[in-house]
Structure 1
Amino acid sequence: MSDFNPAANVLPHPEFHWHIVVSHGEVLCGERGPLHLSAPVREAARDGAQSSTHYLGDWGGKPCAVHHLPFRVELPGCEWRGLRTFLGTVSEALFFLIGRAVQVVNWDLDHRFCGRCGLSTVYHAKDRARVCTSCNFAVYPRISPCVIMLLVRGEECLLARHAHHRHALYTALAGFIEPGENAEQALAREALEEVGLEVGQGPQHLQYIGTQSWPFPGQLMIGYLAEVSGGTLRPDQEEIMEARWFHKSQIPQAIPPAETLSGQLIRTFVERC
């Protein structure tokens, strides 16, 4: 993702070349997609009470900002789009730049007041943080680590349909890492809780595949192929409605796209088999 270089120091702001506009969790798109030059942003920001601007870093060597608007405005030739609509339709680098923009705006909105004493917070002089001037409590953008694992046995993999998923996709299992756990412990616990299966520990049973930023709303996904060592398949019916074993030659069409880590796990399994 060499097109984007994150900002080391977020203040003071440079003179921006690229602009992203976010309001109510959606992104304003024009003829260049979500990236704008200054003209449409000036129009959109007019009379923008409680609007905010954040330096994200450099896109293509040019400084890029995200602007939050407390209300949506309709501009000729522009439309508002949800973050998920960009998945698979723009480059990976641009998708994660947009995701970064939305996450920064959400962090700023959620922490204008101190969660410890209730007083107003101000921006840190250099870091991306909001600081309480009364008790010095600092809040950085929250990133939640998660494991995502494709359970395998020989030439079969376990694919599940999640109870609250918008689309009826067959996908890998996933879950948040709890305090005090490492990624491998969280993987084993989630597999047992969600589908009643045990996974072996150690490099001969767990294959680390990679990580992915997942801005829905702010996760870092850590992906594994995990070999099942025991247990009885029993979906919990709360998180997982259905779970089935699929042979490598019979993977269903309704799986996540290759741009997602879940989709990459499934495709990596098939290729390695």
Structure 2
Amino acid sequence: MSDIFMPAASVWPLPAMARHILIADGQLLCCGDQFLHGNSVLPPDAVLHSHYLGELAGHACGVHLLSRQIDVDGCDWRGLRSLLGQVDESHFALAGRALQVVNWDGDHRFCGRCGSETEYHPNDRARVCPSCQLAVYPRISPCVIMLVTRGEECLLARHTGNRYSKYTALAGFIEPGENAEQALAREVREEVGLEVGASRYIGSQPWPFPGQLMLGFLAECSGGELKPDREEISEAQWFHYSALPELPSPQTLSGQLIRTFAQLAGK
């Protein structure tokens, strides 16, 4: 499937939806890799909340939080990560959006300032406190993901706690007051002890685990001694572009950064 998903900020009242995503206990109801369902699967007695997400190939899509996991012939309940690499980018983004909206809705039923029960904003995707007027929108955490390069080599790392995972690029959250380039330099210094010079922005990717926007860069190493911090990074090595280890999926921004570097270095 390669249909482009067109997201919507919010629509009240809800439009008639032809495609449905069902979520319960943090998992999606899937028939194989298919998580979009027709009207026949929707169980009205189990729906707690519904939200309009946007359109896919002209079909209005919605997500429904269920009070329980229902049994549907030929389907099972799956976590979002199991769909990574199994569905195309637009469908994965739609599934991630569905989970993020459901999580935002559940996490902000009560005001974090005064404790009053919140209400839906009449126009926007927001929950508003009727007592103190605090409005809470779905929150996205910006982070940087960077492939450090040194001529024809790139630095790949494994993260602590998942020692046998694939090698990947470094990454970290942007702190208050930082721009992306400052966060990039700080994270590289903290995680592996290296300094970076010029950086090149490659692209971005929403990453719904649980709700990041990843900004991807290639960054040239300018000095320092390679020394993984062992708290976040268990292992880090330089790899020549022609002898790379098993890479992350090309659907991930990390995989795209590494493949972009290899392509550029091989020219």
Q: Place the TM-score, normalised by the shorter chain, in its bin.
A: over 0.9
What SS class does the counterpart of residue 265 from structure 1 fall into?
Answer: helix
Query: What is residue 217 of structure 2 aligned with on the other side?
Result: 224
Counterpart amino acid of residue 21 in structure 1: L
Query: What is residue 75 of structure 1 aligned with on the other side?
Result: 72
- Tell me if 1:46 matches 2:38: no
TM-score by length of structure 2 reads: 0.96
Structure 1: distance between partners of 2:37 and 2:112: 34
Task: Name which of 201, 216, 235 aligns with 2:228.
Answer: 235
- State which drifts further: 216-225 or 65-74: 65-74
Q: Taking structure 1 as reference, are residues 32 and 145 closer, same or farther at Cα in structure 2, changes over 3 Å only?
A: closer
Q: Would the aligned equivalents of 2:163 and 2:234 in 1 still touch at CA under 8 Å?
A: no
Counterpart amino acid of residue 46 in structure 1: D
Q: Would the aligned equivalents of 2:194 and 2:224 in 1 still touch at CA under 8 Å?
A: yes
Query: What is residue 19 of structure 1 aligned with on the other side?
Result: 20
TM-score by length of structure 1 reads: 0.94
Q: Would the aligned equivalents of 2:49 and 2:64 in 1 still touch at CA under 8 Å?
A: yes
The alignment yields a C-alpha RMSD, in angstroms, of 1.4
Q: Taking structure 1 as reference, are residues 17 and 155 closer, same or farther at Cα in structure 2, changes over 3 Å only?
A: same
TM-superposed deviation, 1:47: 4.2
Query: What is residue 252 of structure 1 aligned with on the other side?
Result: 245
Query: What is residue 263 of structure 1 aligned with on the other side?
Result: 255
- Aligned positions of 1:87-236 closer than 5 A: 87-165=84-162, 168-200=165-197, 205-236=198-229
Counterpart amino acid of residue 29 in structure 1: C
5+ unaligned residues in a row in structure 2: which ranges? Answer: none
What SS class does the counterpart of residue 12 from structure 1 fall into?
Answer: coil
What SS class does the counterpart of residue 169 from structure 1 fall into?
Answer: coil
Q: Would the aligned equivalents of 2:144 and 2:180 in 1 still touch at CA under 8 Å?
A: yes
- State which drifts further: 111-120 or 27-36: 27-36
- State which drifts further: 166-175 or 140-149: 166-175
Structure 1: distance between partners of 2:162 and 2:54: 33
- Tell me if 1:64 matches 2:58: no
TM-superposed deviation, 1:70: 2.6
TM-superposed deviation, 1:31: 6.6
Percent identity of paired positions between Structure 1 and Structure 2: 61
Q: Would the aligned equivalents of 2:46 and 2:67 in 1 still touch at CA under 8 Å?
A: no
The one-character-per-residue Cα deviations of 1:201-244 (angstroms, maximum 9, x if unpaired) are: xxxx1111000000000000000000010111010000000000
- State which drifts further: 131-140 or 65-74: 65-74
What is the number of equivalent residue pairs in this alignment?
A: 264
Counterpart amino acid of residue 217 in structure 1: P
